[in-house]
């Protein structure tokens, strides 16, 4: 089963560097080796030397990463998967049966929506999308006896909405359902949903946890909650083994290495994002800035309570609408035009067509004047300079030379 934790009272960075990452007892190597093996020699039939039988079931490199992440999320056990979506799929299929119902925040990653609607929907799982900031709407959407999972993403992708995790947890538990929080945007450094009553955290470890845009991965971290009399940890462990979308040892090594510097990186991401958000809202080409660190953000007070910082993602709306947003996204030089986020390098994304194409034309569509910035850890004056020249390119669109 995924690795159990023994989280003490250590500081975050100490835990990030040491939990699950003990030096190799055989050689003293400071960094635990990458166990690039599919299977493990047995000393007799079913006599396992180190508890490992076959790497789909468990692998020491994966186990180390799972323990490290679970300790940081203050969870009971962690499970690593081949991608964030694979983690979400495994969790949902571990819990749900046909006829069950999910309540989910309407403003979230388009791929999660696609999974829930177009994959699980075909297997008879229903869902209702609600405004995640409206707890009455969340409660009203719950269906007695069939709602099994409440799914929340906060901050949300890409509108940076902030929802009340403890409020969602109360509604879930009153209904006998589980609260799952996608903690990808905040990372455990800035927010630990299990401490606010969530039962499960999911991650795209592709993002801030890996941190360097060089690995794809996902994770599920569970509390010691049970669902219908069975520990959630056991349900997920079974699904991970039986359906097999596990993360490989190389990918777990990269994710574990990234996780060690998460705190350092997040501080810098957040400082850069705050500075750019403050600057962006003064720019005439920008009609709105979505960043929970700004005092005018509707979720600012809640974020200040629930989080330990406001994160590295800033979304902006362009005064010139869709043409301006497209021009802005295609004019940056340091900010690379790309899907994904959370790496040390800054990225820019035209969300409505790049990450949320699957919900285009629906009530969940992302505004076409919106551009999402994943603010990296470069020098902030260089980032500001890049955005300044991109805004100048947008201005030239509005008033072409000679007109």
Using omega within 30 degrees of 0 as the cis cutoff, is the peptide bond preceding 155 cis? Answer: yes
**148 versus 347: smaller Cβ distance to ligand PLP:** 347
Provide the mask over 29-68, with x wherever binding to ligand PLP is found by CB under 6 A and - wherever it is not: ----------------------------------------
Nearer to ligand PLP, 40 or 89 (CB): 89
User: What six digits make up the tokens of 83?
Assistant: 């991608």
Residue 197, phi-psi category: left (phi > 0), alpha (psi -120 to 50), beta (remainder): left
- Choose, from 93, 192, 207, 317, the residue flagged as catalytic: 207
Catalytic residue among 89, 93, 100, 109: 109
Closest of 359, 397, 312, 344 to residue 114, by C-alpha: 359
User: Considering beta carbons, is residue 109 or 196 the nearer one to ligand PLP?
Assistant: 109
Whether cis (ω within 30° of 0) applies to the bond prior to 158 is yes
Its sign, for the CA torsion 81, 84, 89, 95, is positive
Window of 69-77, 179-187, 267-275, 389-397 that interacts with ligand PLP by CB under 6 A? 179-187
Task: Determine if residue 250 is left, alpha or beta; phi over 0 gives left, psi from -120 to 50 gives alpha, anything else beta.
Answer: alpha
Question: Residue 159 is encoded by which pair of tokens?
Answer: 């509108």
For the window 189-208, what string marks contact with ligand PLP as x by the rule CB under 6 A? ---------------x-x--
Q: How far apart are CA 233 and CA 77, in angstroms?
A: 7
Stretch that binds ligand PLP, among 94-102, 105-113, 358-366, 382-390 (CB under 6 A): 105-113
Token pair for residue 126?
């229903």
Residue nearest to ligand PLP (CB): 84
- 60 vs 84, which CB is nearer to ligand PLP? 84
Query: And the tokens for 250?
Result: 């190389």
Selected range binding ligand PLP among 80-88, 160-168, 259-267, 363-371, rule: CB under 6 A: 80-88
Q: Residue 85 interacts with ligand PLP (CB under 6 A)? A: yes
84 lies in the binding site for ligand PLP (CB under 6 A): yes
Beta carbons within 8 Å of 192's beta carbon, 6+ residues apart: 72, 73, 74, 183, 201
Q: Contact positions toward ligand PLP, by CB under 6 A? A: 83-85, 109, 111-112, 153, 157, 182, 184-185, 204, 206, 216, 218, 340
Known catalytic residues are 56, 109, 182, 207
């Amino acid at each position: 089963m995924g690795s159990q934790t023994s989280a003490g009272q250590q500081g975050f960075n100490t835990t990030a560097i040491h939990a699950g990452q003990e030096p190799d007892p055989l050689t003293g190597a400071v960094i635990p080796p990458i166990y690039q093996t599919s299977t493990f020699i047995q000393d007799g039939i079913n006599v396992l030397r180190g508890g490992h039988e076959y790497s789909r079931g468990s692998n020491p490199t994966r186990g180390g990463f799972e323990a490290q992440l679970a300790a940081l999320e203050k969870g009971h056990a962690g499970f690593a998967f081949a991608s964030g979506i694979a983690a979400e799929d495994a969790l949902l299929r571990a819990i749900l049966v046909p006829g069950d119902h999910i309540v989910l925040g309407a403003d979230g990653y388009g791929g999660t929506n696609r999974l829930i609607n177009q994959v699980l929907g075909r297997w008879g799982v229903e869902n209702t999308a609600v405004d995640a900031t409206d707890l009455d709407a969340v409660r009203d959407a719950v269906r007695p006896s069939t709602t099994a999972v409440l799914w929340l993403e906060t901050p949300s992708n890409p509108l940076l909405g902030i929802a009340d995790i403890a409020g969602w947890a109360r509604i879930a538990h009153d209904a006998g359902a589980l609260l799952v929080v996608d903690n990808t945007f905040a990372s455990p450094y800035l927010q630990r949903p299990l401490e606010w009553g969530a039962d499960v955290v999911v991650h795209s470890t592709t993002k801030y946890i890996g941190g360097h845009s060089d690995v794809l991965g996902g994770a599920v971290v569970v509390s010691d909650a049970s669902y219908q009399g069975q520990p959630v940890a056991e349900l997920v462990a079974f699904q991970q083994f039986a359906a097999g979308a596990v993360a490989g040892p190389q990918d777990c090594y990269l994710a574990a290495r990234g996780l060690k510097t998460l705190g350092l990186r997040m501080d810098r991401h957040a400082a850069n994002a705050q500075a750019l958000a403050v600057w962006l809202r003064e720019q005439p080409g920008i009609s709105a800035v979505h960043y929970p660190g700004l005092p005018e953000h509707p979720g600012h007070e809640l974020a200040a309570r629930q989080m330990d910082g406001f994160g590295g993602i800033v979304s902006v709306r362009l005064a010139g609408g869709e043409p301006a947003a497209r021009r802005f996204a295609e004019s940056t030089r340091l900010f690379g035009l790309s899907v994904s986020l959370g790496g040390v390098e800054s990225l820019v994304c035209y969300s409505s067509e790049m990450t949320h194409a699957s919900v285009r034309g629906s009530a969940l569509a992302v505004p076409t004047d919106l551009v999402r910035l994943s603010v990296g850890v470069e020098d902030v004056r260089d980032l500001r300079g890049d955005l300044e020249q991109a805004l100048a390119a947008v201005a030239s669109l509005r008033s072409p030379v000679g007109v």
